[in-house]
Structure 1
Amino acid sequence: MLLANAHDGGALLLGVVPPRLTTGRERVREIAEVTLARLNRVDVDGLALYDIDDESDRNPAERPFPYLPTMDPATYHAEYLGAWDRPTVIYRCVGKYTEAELGTWLRQADTGRVHSVFVGASSKDKDVRTRLPQAQALRRSVRPDLLLGGVAIAERKDEYLRLIAKQTEGCSFFISQVVYNTNAAKNLASDYYYACRERGLAPNPILFTLSVCGSVKTLAFLTWLGVDVPDWLANSLRHADDTLTESFEHCVAGARDLTAFCRKLGMPFGFLIESVSNRRVEIEASAALAQEVGVVLGR
């Protein structure tokens, strides 16, 4: 469903961060019920569950929101989200796990319900248990039938070449970092599409991540994460009477722009909608944004 819709008008996913690791089982069940109810209100093709890692090695500046370890997304999915019957993309920060741990999960994964995105180390100096090329090779050896995606950072120089390399390593789709610079996302889609055509490759779908921003602190966190927020837009968000509404409208406009561009280009695409904040108002706004982007896609 996920890739089929990406090739046929645009895929749509909702991204969710699992509960904190310290959360009690009863409270986790309550959170899961709220998540399932939210999913049932929006017409999405799938769910993305994030694997949160400490990235202070990448950015030494103070993190606007503290790093708090969260549940293993695979455990959260298997034990609490059984009622969700559509595909789930489970992120794996592969450096957190040994090859044996990744291998065990790969062998047990239900490939009818589960896809994955492997994420490498946040910096070259970080101590890791498994490096991204090792994880990719392990998946090819153990579970080549597991649909695998890769991370795309639109603003990074020559990112389209990295996408082609990841495609060669077995990635069937890509999910971008949060997009606030729509032109950078269009540049990536264009560069990748034509580079694939030159090489006789079929381009894989790129799912563009959109995230609402409900406060100046959330804006600071987006910047800390490395999201490119153009100065004019950062000014608009800082000085808006309602920052959340301002960001929501920008995300919808960006979705319209990227949809029109990718459809004209012939590039398979989609959107992943998330909230980088755990504030309820921003999480609810992300669900509303998913509904609105669904309208943009013609649902």
Structure 2
Amino acid sequence: MSDSALKSKSSDPKKGVYFIGTTPPKEDTDIELVSGIADKLLGRLESIDYDGLIVYDIQDETSRIDKPRPFPFKHTHDSRLYSKLLHDKSEKPVITYKSVSQRDAADFNHWLSDAWHQFSVRDIVLVGSPSSEGEIKLSLSDAYKTLKAHKSNFYLGGVTIAERHLKKGDEHARLLAKEEQGCEFFISQAVYNAQATIDMLTRYAMQCNKLGVQPKRVILTFSPCGSAKTLEFIKWLGISVPEATSLRILQSENPLKESLLISRNNFEQVIQACIPLGIPLGLNIESLTNRKEEIDAAILLFKLLKATLDLKLAESQL
């Protein structure tokens, strides 16, 4: 058995699970300051009722797209180190992302052993290469095989991208393939296109029904957008933003507030369509920039969307 606190929190499909997503501080941040940054984040979260945190492993995705990156890429501290800090300080589960393409299987094996023993990592999400360009030392499927052969029993999650479903119509098949490779839950890319997410989840639920299996939990990610620059970055990351949504944000007197209202509306549409399908849902709120107003807005968005999901789940049990 995995000794994952997240696994037990996530075991009741009728309950939501609620996360805050964050990135480790930049690599050139003094290690003493990193602890203070973690304290500051957790201080901000004291007013909300959340189940755990998600720590991303940021990649330089410039190979995926020919447009320049709106915010310059900077390496960050090790995701395991920051996860351990947040876990020790908050005593809550922390999901640690790991980008696998840069090192070979032997290296990845070491990474897993250190993650388990030195950094107390129990819950992980593996991410493949952002594109097929460049050198890939380890494919995602080989990373899953390496993980399976490893003696530590991690609780494994996968990434799901509704935008791929929009283009290829096969994301539900990818989810099922990842389940076969050991994934117990999924975390979406930030949702700005409700319909793409509904299409993907509906297809996934239908396929699970056909196979007679229970759908895995899908944790939906939402992120505030307070400026044209943040919107440009959201699109650069490959997140689908319908034209009308972009225009509503950019032409609003208060773009940040408008983005929160749009996110709540999108979330309501998704849960209206998907709770009846029997997919256990969760929520992850992240700020894609370190602008104070967007971080504060992420906390407000968390409150709004958690209340929305809690209410809908309660109604579904009437």
Which residue number in structure 1 is paired with residue 242 of structure 2? Answer: 230
Structure 1 114/189 Cα, relative in aligned 2: closer, same or farther at 3 Å? same
Q: C-alpha displacement at 1:110, in angstroms? A: 4.5
> In structure 2, which of residues 5, 22, 28 is the aligned counterpart of residue 16 of structure 1?
22
Normalised TM-score (structure 1): 0.94
Q: C-alpha displacement at 1:143, in angstroms? A: 4.2
SS class of match (1:148): strand
> In structure 1, which of residues 271, 275, 281 is the aligned counterpart of residue 293 of structure 2?
281
Which residue number in structure 1 is paired with residue 53 of structure 2? Answer: 47
Q: Which runs of 4+ in 1 moved over 6 A?
A: none
Is 1:116 matched with 2:124?
yes
Give the Cα separation in 1 of the matches to 2:146 and 2:287: 31
Structure 1 293/143 Cα, relative in aligned 2: closer, same or farther at 3 Å? farther
Give the Cα separation in 1 of the matches to 2:201 and 2:276: 12
Q: C-alpha displacement at 1:114, in angstroms? A: 2.7
Structure 1 215/6 Cα, relative in aligned 2: closer, same or farther at 3 Å? farther
Report percent identity of matched pairs.
Answer: 35
Matched letter for residue 213 of structure 2: L
Residues 80-89 or 148-157, more deviating: 80-89
Which residue number in structure 1 is paired with residue 306 of structure 2? Answer: 294
Matched letter for residue 263 of structure 1: I
* Number of corresponding residues: 299
- Structure 1, unaligned runs of 5 or more: none
Residues 71-80 or 163-172, more deviating: 71-80
Which residue number in structure 1 is paired with residue 42 of structure 2? Answer: 36
Aligned 8 A contact 1:149 1:171 in 2: yes
SS class of match (2:35): helix
Give the Cα separation in 1 of the matches to 2:137 and 2:12: 33
RMSD, aligned α-carbons = 1.9
Structure 1 298/202 Cα, relative in aligned 2: closer, same or farther at 3 Å? closer
Is 1:135 matched with 2:143?
yes
Q: C-alpha displacement at 1:218, in angstroms? A: 0.4
SS class of match (1:53): coil
Is 1:244 matched with 2:252?
no
Give the Cα separation in 1 of the matches to 2:195 and 2:172: 15
Which residue number in structure 1 is paired with residue 273 of structure 2? Answer: 261
Matched letter for residue 18 of structure 1: P
Aligned 8 A contact 1:86 1:113 in 2: no
- Structure 2, unaligned runs of 5 or more: 312-318
SS class of match (1:95): coil
Give the Cα separation in 2 of the matches to 1:213 and 1:168: 36
Matched letter for residue 271 of structure 1: L
Give the Cα separation in 2 of the matches to 1:298 and 1:255: 12
Is 1:216 matched with 2:228?
yes
Aligned 8 A contact 2:16 2:310 in 1: no
Task: Render the CA deviation track for 1:209-265: whole Å, top value 9, x for unaligned.
Answer: 101001000000011111100001011111111110000111122222222322222
Q: C-alpha displacement at 1:200, in angstroms? A: 2.2
